[in-house]
Structure 1
Amino acid sequence: MSLEIPRPVDPSLHPLMTGNYRIATPAIEEFYGLVARCLRYRVTGALTYGPSRIGKTRAIEYVRLLIARNYPRMTSYHAQCEHKPRHAEGPFFANLLEAVGDPDPNAGSNTSKRMRLALRIREAAARAGSGVVLLFCDEAQRYDDNEYEWLRDVHDTLDRQQIKLFTFLVGQQELLAQKTALQVAGKTQIVARLMVEDLAFYGIRNAQDVATCLNGYDQTAYPERSHWSFTRFYVPQAFDAGYRLVNDAGKLWEAFEAAHHKASLPGQLEIPMESFARAVEIVLKDSELRDARGYGPETVLWQHAVRHCGYVQSRHATGRVLASAA
């Protein structure tokens, strides 16, 4: 039986159990392409927008991992923009100070917070040996015009200190509307610094996208550089006999399609990464007990996984169509 085959690490520590892993989707690859292009062409700001719960936060984390690997001398931060009843300077800078690791982000006056933010970023850039820093602002549609102005001030301050800050605003569709409103209002200095390019983020939209993501489970190894891909970790006998999750891309897509239509959900099928990952995890965990040479998950197991992955439930809960702008 599969469970009797020794694994290189305790199964309870595997990323599939802890949830601490990221798989690339075509949309994430496009997002990384946008970031790399901005770095190459010195474009200091871009925005990425899409429906809620489609996987944008996971995308930020994945892109930051790629940046750390491909640009080891660059520092990146992930700021979670907070919902605030009023938009005050103090909480804005405290939020950014928390993102850059300041030990006491709420301490001091607004002026001292501004100065400390620039200092923390400058120190990190010096440690990394590069004058380039990336800031990802998640749920950025929560910012108002004043906060964009303060963010532009941070850019200008760092610019004078020979540090180039690249800001990537990530949020819901309202973010694109904010860009348009700023352009109409003539606030082109904000757009030119923070919103030069824009990218529509989307979920998993067809069987080919499903195959791309499933291939990630077949190829990603844990521990790194071992022969234990995520798929092999759970079904080693089937894997060694040739089974790959990517073989079942059609089955999984059809199971989501059937669930989408059965629930009479509006719009085209577009699978959020959270629901997709949960479905794959259900199949791998349930397959572990059935592993054997020649084993492959049956269609009914994929259907079971889709029923329990939260896709239909979350769509009913939000009542929103997950169709991105083209």
Structure 2
Amino acid sequence: MASAKSLTVSHPIDPALHPVETGNYRVATAAIQSFYDLIQRCLRYRITGALVYGPSRIGKTRSIEYLRLLLSETDPKITTYHAQAEHKPRHAEGPFFANLLQAVGFPDPDGGTNPTKRLRLINKIRESCARNGSGTVVLFCDEAQRYTENEYEWLRDVHDQLDRLHIRLFTFLVGQQELRSVKTAFQQARKTQIVARLMVEELAFFGVRNLRDVATCLHGYDSTAYPRGGEWSFTRFYLPNAVAGGYRLVDDAQTLWENFEHIHQQHGLPGELQIPMDSFARAVEIVLKEGNGLDGSGNSPDPAIWRAAVQNCGYTQARQALSEVLTPAMS
């Protein structure tokens, strides 16, 4: 029931600056936890390379950003980088090292000869390791299926050069499903030096697959505070009166999952229900923003808001596009 008297709430910051408004936030998922476990296993057993692959828009890039923040908190001495492999007609040595120099924060990544770029990259990493007090580096290479054999060889050279300086580089190649085929092709061609250095472990990345995954993600909104360290969870910021009455987004995990199930079946989408993180986050953001305008009553979001959010989050279009990629063409 609506409360007889709504609460007047003063937010701690300008709502326009909130991460939900800017899109600059990440919440934990089951897939991210699996990715983090993979990283910890590789660090523990000195496995220097792994593949993480899955469909586009499933949340892989979001996971990299989340994990870099998490590692900075749990293992602050570890140096981490995020390189984005580029789509380009020519895969030359200069642009490859310029891309890595940009990832490590070198101010003029395009300047200098190829040997100079190599040296600058090694020196920049060495400086960061010295500053952080550890010889451990984690490099995430996003869209790694774009790399050619030469680029993998150059990346292996970087591993070897750093190893001679007693710096251990752990590389996580993140990309689409064809990344798994790249490893298979190298194995068949007996390119064991690349596989053994960069492609030992594997993880098939996934979206939100079941009710438990939904609850895990929603709990992230309920427990993540902004400003950090404060008492204003994402949920409380948008639904302060409902939260004051005991409501949490995780209470509606079943409702959200059932709405995704319904739209999946309604559109006859193939395969089991698996929600891309982009679609999931958009649905939750719609509920928070729409619910904010109705929060004066102190009620939890109406089921109709959840239904509308799922209908407008882009899930159908994302899954239809994914089905076209995953379904073999009929001969």
TM, length-normalised to structure 2: 0.94
| 1:233 counterpart SS class | helix
CA shift digits 1:89-125 (9 cap, x unpaired):
1111111011111111111111111111111111111
Q: Identity percentage over the alignment? A: 66
Instruction: Give the 5 Å matches for 1:245-260.
Output: 245-260=249-264
Does structure 1 residue 172 correspond to structure 2 residue 200?
Answer: no
Q: Is the 8 A contact 1:80 1:138 kept in 2?
A: yes
Give the structure 1 partner of residue 71 of structure 2: 67
Distance 1:322 1:219, change over 3 A: farther
CA shift digits 1:28-72 (9 cap, x unpaired):
100011011111111111110001110000000011111100111
Identify which of 14, 22, 28 aligns with 2:26. 22
Superposition deviation, residue 319 in structure 1? 4.4
Does structure 1 residue 34 correspond to structure 2 residue 11?
Answer: no
Q: Is the 8 A contact 1:234 1:288 kept in 2?
A: yes
Letter in structure 1 aligned against 2:66: Y
CA RMSD of aligned residues (A): 1.6
Give the structure 1 partner of residue 111 of structure 2: 107
Distance 1:321 1:223, change over 3 A: same
Give the structure 1 partner of residue 303 of structure 2: 299
| 1:199 counterpart SS class | strand
Give the structure 1 partner of residue 313 of structure 2: 309
Give the structure 2 partner of residue 9 of structure 1: 13
Superposition deviation, residue 302 in structure 1? 0.6
Does structure 1 residue 150 correspond to structure 2 residue 154?
Answer: yes
Q: Structure 1: which 5+ runs fail to align?
A: none
Give the structure 1 partner of residue 141 of structure 2: 137
| 2:324 counterpart SS class | coil
| 1:267 counterpart SS class | coil
Matches of 2:225 and 2:85, distance apart in 1 = 33
Q: Is the 8 A contact 1:2 1:236 kept in 2?
A: no
| 2:51 counterpart SS class | strand
Letter in structure 2 aligned against 1:69: E
Give the structure 1 partner of residue 85 of structure 2: 81
Give the structure 2 partner of residue 210 of structure 1: 214
Give the structure 2 partner of residue 92 of structure 1: 96
| 1:203 counterpart SS class | coil
Superposition deviation, residue 293 in structure 1? 5.9
Letter in structure 1 aligned against 2:122: A
Q: Is the 8 A contact 2:102 2:109 kept in 1?
A: yes
Identify which of 193, 202, 205 aligns with 1:201. 205
Letter in structure 2 aligned against 1:37: R
Superposition deviation, residue 316 in structure 1? 3.2
Identify which of 260, 268, 273 aligns with 2:277. 273
Distance 1:177 1:288, change over 3 A: same
Letter in structure 2 aligned against 1:171: G
| 2:89 counterpart SS class | coil
Instruction: Give the 5 Å matches for 1:237-248.
Output: 237-248=241-252
Q: Structure 2: which 5+ runs fail to align?
A: none
| 2:190 counterpart SS class | coil
TM, length-normalised to structure 1: 0.96
Q: Is the 8 A contact 1:218 1:246 kept in 2?
A: yes
Letter in structure 1 aligned against 2:53: Y
Does structure 1 residue 286 correspond to structure 2 residue 290?
Answer: yes
Matches of 2:92 and 2:253, distance apart in 1 = 48
Superposition deviation, residue 314 in structure 1? 2.6
Matches of 1:32 and 1:60, distance apart in 2 = 10
